[in-house]
Structure 1
Amino acid sequence: MSSMSPAESEGLSATATAGPHRIARSISATWWYTVSALMVFQFMVVLIWFGVQSSTDATPAALAIVGVGGLLWCASCVALLLQYRHRDDTAGAVAGWRGIIVPLAVSAAVGVGAGLASGLWIIGALPLVQALMLLNWPRGVRLRLVIVAMALMTGAMFVDLRMTDTADEATARNWWMLGFFSILLPAMTVTSLWWWDVLATLDRARAAESRLGATQERLRVATDVHDLQGHHLQVIALQLELSERLLEKDPDAALDQIRLARASVAEARQGTRDLAMRFRGVPLRDEIANAVDLLRAAGTTADAEVDPDSDHAPASVLGPIIRETTTNALRHGGGKWAHLSLTRDESRWRYEIANDSASDTTPSSDGSGLEGISRRVAEVGGSAQVHRGKHEFSIVVLVPSETTAGEKR
């Protein structure tokens, strides 16, 4: 666990706030992979439309309508996907209808135009069916909808087959390919969106876990402080009250009670110091493990290298530094990767944390964190080095193996 000094509590609070945003950024690549896969599959369907139209000797005007309509259909689906990315599970399918009405209208118009130009029901129905798959449907409704959509596309395919001459082998192959991809597209779309929903839910859970861990730590510290201080304050209040009553009748007894109250104050102060030292006395191996867990909970790929003899390192000096630098990486780092190490370097201990730089590499206006690290290290005869690169930020701390940090505190 970590000590909860005011500066560290502020940093942890900022971390808990920034965590969900960083996690959201960390899954952006997955989201765009999902969109790209759907759009590639959908564009393949448009190309198959062209193949089928070419095999039926369609006019240039019909080919132009199908081609331009297919591109407009893909663009409208991208707009619906962007709307879907920020979906609310509790909202209905038509929530935020201003953002979906135009893409739905475009898809419906493309379906009517391409269907009339090609004379095919399956081409006319698919654009609107696909657009409906991209709405924010509840899970049960979405499953029933995709089953109905696949049945509808299957029926449209067989109706078109009965009205079209597919005696030619190439034409028949194009038709079956059109039917297969048209029927599969709604199912693939719903499956991809379901996978995205699962991933987004996991990331929200991971962010909640990070916030919950910080909250539980604060609650535990607050409970210990309350129990300790509450007990001593109650005793001190009773002793002072008794001394007040005895002041006129028995001044010596009143003076004894005042002395006891002073002793209780000293006990409370010592108990508070002991409580603080108990949190600071966490082994450095556990401190670094906690730091790695916190970074990973925020969506950062983190790893660590710890010397087997790290229990002999000055924990009173390096413990707060590990917590401060972890907070610094969470607040100001790029959030993609971080590496921590604690190794023995001759007669010194070497602690280093390196992480990627954020897109905005301008140093923070308040350098209190780094200044505090330098000051803390200088008190024990060590040194701290800060390296700012274009894509990497690192802090290297060198501390003598034997320190008197405990005495200086």
Structure 2
Amino acid sequence: MSVPPRTGKGLDVQKALKRRGLPDPLTTLVRRGREPTVVQTVRSTLAAVIAYVVALWLSKEPAPLTAPLTALLVVQVTLYSTLTTGIRRVNSVVAGVLIAIGFSVLVGLTWWSLGLIILSSLVIGRFVRVGEFVPEVAISAMLVLGVTRVAETSWDRVLETLIGAVVGLLFNVLLVPPVWVQPAGEAIEDLARRMRGLLEDIAEQISGHTPVAEAAARLHRARRLDHDIVEVDAALRQAEDSLRLNPRVKEGVLHRVVLRTGLDTLEISAVVLRVATRTLTDLAKQRTRETLFPSDVAASLQEVFTHLARAVESFAVVITSQVTANAEQAETRLAEELATARTTRDHAAGLLLHQVLEHPRQWQLHGALLAEIDRILDELDIQKRTQRLVEELDRHTRRHHDRRSVLATLRRHLRRRDHRGGGSTEPSRRTLS
């Protein structure tokens, strides 16, 4: 049976949204439903519910809340983080449960026993090697002690903890967590857009008189890029972890290397950009009643910074896009913008040299600004990026080969040892015969 076409107000509303450039609500809902944050939220909820249901079957407690608590702690956003931190999380929860059992048997829950259980949990957490999850020992102990103080049912908390841990681990192994590459790519593109905005502001204001306060404000914006880079680095680390041990990703190493080297390039460029804004600020302090540069020099520098802004954005598109037509077009635009920026930079350098020969005021600031432009152009260079990718891939291949060589050497050593052991027992058998 065919589905009849949509008519009436629903279709009219959808057409109106399209005419106004607004997204379809259903399309937006489906797209948001595929985002890693939404997927991880649903996965954590399902894991907690499943752990609670299993605990109801296996535990004697009427409300085994420790099982879903443990499942929530174990289910991580990536499979790699689950396997690397899951054991420590389980260890912290079990330690907290055991501490709560001891206190429930001895003293129960009072104001002074609460303080004592927190102190004991934090101290014991240092000795059971739970790493950064020491506070979770105290949290688990407080929650368990608050839920029940009956000594006969306290050991059910250990069973619930193990149930939650097993469910959480199996949930992440059987249902692989989402890949967080897209949020990391969006964070990198957002960083590039902020750098482009700063470069465009420099290009717009370099031709006229620049007050010191205005130049200092641009310097402050450039310094804030450091905080943005920290956030992007955190998103990229999460993306790298989501690519490790993920069976749905075929070229995880390549994705990690491309994004990491790309962020390193943008980070270096942001540092150089901050130094360039400091140079312009120092120049503005020296020229409070005149323009920073003559009109012809300012026009050339304005064109240089404009092409640098476009090159930064094209570079971000290149490293965040897969091998598609968009990536090829972005790489072509990047090459064109860099070539034009170099040509314009050389023209501006000639004009600055002529000006310095006539009026050598603040010549060192002029040279510093040209050097900073050269550094950004060098960092964004396509050939340098390709060389860096090859070096990182070769380094990863060597590390992987070294690990395999160690394992192969160990296997050969064990085989020779077994062979020698078998040879030493054979003569004794012949002698006995």
TM-score normalized with structure 2 length: 0.28
- Structure 1 or 2, whichever has the larger Rg, is 1
Greater strand fraction, Structure 1 or Structure 2: 1
Greater helix fraction, Structure 1 or Structure 2: 2
TM-score normalized with structure 1 length: 0.30
